[in-house]
Amino acid sequence: GNSVTQMEGPVTLSEEAFLTINCTYTATGYPSLFWYVQYPGEGLQLLLKATKADDKGSNKGFEATYRKETTSFHLEKGSVQVSDSAVYFCALSPREAAGNKLTFGGGTRVLVKP
Amino acid sequence: DGGITQSPKYLFRKEGQNVTLSCEQNLNHDAMYWYRQDPGQGLRLIYYSQIVNDFQKGDIAEGYSVSREKKESFPLTVTSAQKNPTAFYLCASKGGARTGELFFGEGSRLTVL
């Protein structure tokens, strides 16, 4: 079956530090890959996505590249802010899945200290 | 503004009671989903519906029920048969895009006393 594995948190950083959150996946074919962000007490928001190999998704200073050879989609940001404190979820959507159901990783909590 | 509205945001329930969580969307999306999130964990799919008057069980459907009588609405009932109902419930919808992007509501936190 499909699965997504993320590094466990919490990840604690100082402001302006470099952030990397690892994400690897198992799926048949060529899934679409996503990063969602969840701020405290809220639902999930799409942060970025990539739909084919070597695509780079980017938004709000975050980037992730779809690496088919390593089945990875690691999230990076060069200089984090306190406002980036949130839980980050990696997810995949197989193209052939009925209902286009997303499979989520367990989430990684990030805490940025001033 | 278009979006997904969940209500109530917070809900307390006594053991043995059924409770219904509301989810309404004005995005004109065909597909809608209910997920459960437990503290420190990822999301697990409860039910989903791709079209009005049709829905399918997700990975953890036991103890839950849904209906889809209107395109805009996908209410979730947490029944007394659900053994551990205390959780954060998230509703989502998806339009016609093939890439699978979901739009989420702000969630409903259910606590069983």
Residue B66 clears pLDDT 90, i.e. is over it: yes
Nearest to A99 among B43, B50, B99 (CB): B50
**Contact criterion met (CB < 8 Å) for A106 and B41:** yes
pLDDT level of residue A35 (50, 70, 90 thresholds): very high
Task: For residue B25, give how far its alpha carbon lies from the nearest alpha carbon of chain A (Å).
Answer: 14
Residue B96 clears pLDDT 80, i.e. is over it: no
pLDDT the model gives residue A45: 92
Backbone angles phi, psi at B101, to 5 degrees: -65, 135
**A95-99, B88-92, B104-108: lowest mean pLDDT where?**
A95-99
Residue A97 clears pLDDT 80, i.e. is over it: no
Percent of chain B with pLDDT over 70: 95
Residue A77 clears pLDDT 80, i.e. is over it: yes
Chain B residues within 8 A of A102 when measuring between CB atoms: 100, 102
Question: Is the bond leading into A94 cis (omega within 30 degrees of zero)?
Answer: no
> Which of the two residues, A16 and B1, has the higher pLDDT score?
A16
Task: For residue A106, give how far its alpha carbon lies from the nearest alpha carbon of chain B (Å).
Answer: 4
In angstroms, the Cα distances linking A16 to A79, A89, A109 are 4, 21, 17
pLDDT the model gives residue B99: 62
